[in-house]
Amino acid sequence: MVKKDQELSELVVRDIHVEVVRKEIKNLHLAVYPPKGHVRVAVPFHVNDERVRLAVISKLAWIKKQQADFKKQPRQSEREMLTGESHYFLGKRYLLEVVEGPGKHRIELKGNRKFVLFVRPNTSLVNRQLILNEFYRDQLKKRIPGLLSKWQDTISVEAEFWGVKKMKTKWGSCNIGAKRIWLNLELAKKPQECLEYILVHELIHLLERNHNDRFKGHMNQFMPNWRIYRDMLNSSPLGYEAWRY
């Protein structure tokens, strides 16, 4: 669905298909998204196609490198939610055990190696996935408040609201005016350092809107190893639906 406050079009630049989104922003933003390296450029309404084309050409080497990196990145197959299947939690690999019977649907951790999924007989694949997603959501919501308190004090900013949701193209987002932060549900599968990195990244946007030198300077000041965590996040196995930051 196209939002009323934006316009969508497409360009082909040197055999690369580029999605162009015009909306109420001040600067041009170019990004490459998984799983196949989809190129998207967001621009203010007044920017014409020729300027978009020149911006893409100036970034061709970077775009092709990002697309090549996606092809090399390990991927999970589509999940079937059956016993013996691999799942990830906080950066560790767990084997799924499905136990059918009466009672409440739930997931329990068995040691450091196993997810046990308790479901009623004939529970559908969709509902099994929903149970797993709710487990991930609950686990993130237990961890985020402490991390948020720590980093808000360190950076001297404060978010008015935070939440967790599935996001198709971002690990996190920040509405600067509302001071509202969203974190991607997929972060539950990644090492906690990755969750902290994204949280800090979004909090820094309360100091600087753009990903410019000032933004990077704040990241260097408050989280000197942020590039290590970024690379850790972007090199970890992609889920069946994938994200990159």
Residues shown for the chain: 245
* Separation between Cα atoms, residue 208 and residue 215, nearest integer Å: 6
Q: Say if residue 106's pLDDT is above 50.
A: yes
- Beta strand pairing call for 114-119 and 161-165: unpaired
Top-level class of domain 86-235: alpha beta
- Look at residue 240 in the predicted model and tell me its pLDDT: 47
238 confidence band (pLDDT: 50, 70, 90): low
Across the beta sheet with 106-110, the strand order is 86-89, 92-100, 114-119, 106-110
* E strand map for the chain: 6-13, 16-23, 29-33, 38-44, 86-89, 92-100, 106-110, 114-119, 161-165, 172-175, 180-184
Non-local (6+) Cβ contacts of 115 within 8 A are 87, 89, 94, 95, 96, 97, 107, 108, 109, 132
Domain parsing of the chain, residue ranges:
6-72, 86-235
- Please state the pTM of the whole predicted model: 0.73
The per-residue pLDDT for 6 is 83
Q: What is the pLDDT at residue 223?
A: 96
Per-residue pLDDT, averaged over 233-239, amounts to: 69
Is pLDDT at 20 greater than 90 in this prediction? Answer: yes
Task: Output the average pLDDT for the chain.
Answer: 89
Say what the pLDDT of residue 107 is: 95
Residue 245: pLDDT over 50: no
Residue 70's pLDDT band (cuts 50, 70, 90): confident
By percentage, how much of the chain surpasses pLDDT 90?
70
